[in-house]
Structure 1
């Protein structure tokens, strides 16, 4: 990958900004297997030459890669790529790269499983503890969604807002933070968003109404089951078919 031709000529900037750019490129190359597991990254002088940065920037970038679990720098062996199970998928740069190079959609499938588990639990908690003002916000959000059935982009954004209201009302701040982080990165992928039809929107709307009704009724068990069904079912409807012959995927630009 030609760093200069992709990003244009490097201009003097703060080393932190340059370091962020170097890290993003190296993460992409590791996740895409341009640098396979147990292979050595280029040497410091080689990276300095390629990216037009100082040794200080390169060393800081390598430290960041180590913190993300992608590499280990060892005297005498250089900086070598580690096995994927140790990579920090909650790191936004790593997660974005994984989604970008996820040929068989395994990461997105896993993301849906995590999201369904956490959100079903949070929906149940919300049904047990929701206050009247929060219940009214949820009902009002249904009206917003109903007005946007013919606008897929706007509907998707307000769909996220509907789920956010439930998570906030649950009081589970950690669960909310995890879902907010991973879902925001997934939504950057066109393969995650799909191209929902009007029928898909209407089914989604009907399920949202059922979820709101179960929360209002205080049915924690019922809404937990429905939330899981809703999230998994929505993904299955929009999940693109995986072609084994797929070879080219987007790279960092």
Structure 2
């Protein structure tokens, strides 16, 4: 028993302490992305931020440097820290994307993210279709039955992710798969899904079955159409149903 406990403790990853600058960088990032600090304007001077956040100059500099690394600001000697044009921001930076989607820059970023996910995901399923195995179909079938029967949100989401992971993994395209996962993970949480998980999956799994049956029958174009519809319908369902 002692030996096992020691081994488990040794294997457990060491949790690093959060940098003091991290929450400050997050708040400054939120202000930039939300427009509280508009494009072309300067961030408050360093002494002002030191007083506001009650930290050292070093901590403020670290926070501002992290914004510069994400392309949100430029630090100009003698001119202060200036918010850059939105076209220069690293939108896919995992720190920037969730905030940008929350504030939906230009009222179209979330729609663009859904369109990009649909474009990439349909490419992945096309690449995967000829390579799917009986084991792949068995995994997808199992996921479908969980999504048909369970009322537990965690179980539904696990099965959903596992269903889509089958063809993404089989495609062999790690870059596209990673971008799709990033877009999914950073999308603002769907409050309706939390309130009505069974209702949402009653609708979503009709598309899942269409995707599965089309792939099983070798109807790749039909699978692509069903997947594209599935991704876009869920976004519409999120917005249009009260």
Q: 1:7 maps to which residue? A: none
Aligned position for 1:56:
58
Report which stretch shifted further, 92-101 or 171-180: 92-101
Verify: 1:98 aligned to 2:100, yes or no.
Answer: yes
For residues 207 and 146 of structure 1, the distance between their equivalents in structure 2, rounded to whole angstroms, comes to: 12
- Whether contact under 8 Å (1:194, 1:239) holds in the other structure is no
1:127 and 1:217 in contact (8 A); partners too: no
Q: Partner of 1:171 in structure 2?
A: 172
The answer as to 2:207 corresponding to 1:207 is: yes
Deviations 1:18-66 (A, max 9, x none): 1111110000000111111111011122222221222222222222111
Counterparts of 2:225 and 2:240 in 1: how far apart (Å)?
Answer: 25
1:85 aligns with 2:87: yes
Which of the pair has the greater relative contact order for Cα pairs under 8 Å at 6+ separation? 1
> RMSD of aligned C-alpha atoms?
2.6
Partner Cα distance (1:25, 1:154) in 2: 34
Q: C-alpha offsets along residues 219-238 of structure 1, whole Å, 9 cap, x if unaligned?
A: 32221222111111221122
Larger mean Cα displacement after TM superposition, 72-81 or 54-63:
54-63
Work out which of the residue numbers 43, 68, 71 in structure 2 matches 1:69.
71
TM-score scaled by structure 1?
Answer: 0.80
Spell out, residue by residue over 1:143-167, the C-alpha distance to the aligned partner (whole angstroms, 9 max, x if none). 111112x445643443233222221
Q: Deviations over 1:171-215 (max 9, x none)?
A: 111111111112111153537x58658565323212111111222
Contact 1:27 1:65 (C-alpha < 8 Å) held by counterparts: yes
Number of matched residues?
227
Q: Distance in 2 between matches of 1:114 and 1:239?
A: 18
Query: 8 Å contact 1:127–1:219 — kept in the other structure?
Result: no
Aligned to 1:35, which of 37, 44, 64? 37
Q: Which stretches in structure 2 are left out of the alignment for 5+ residues?
A: 1-15
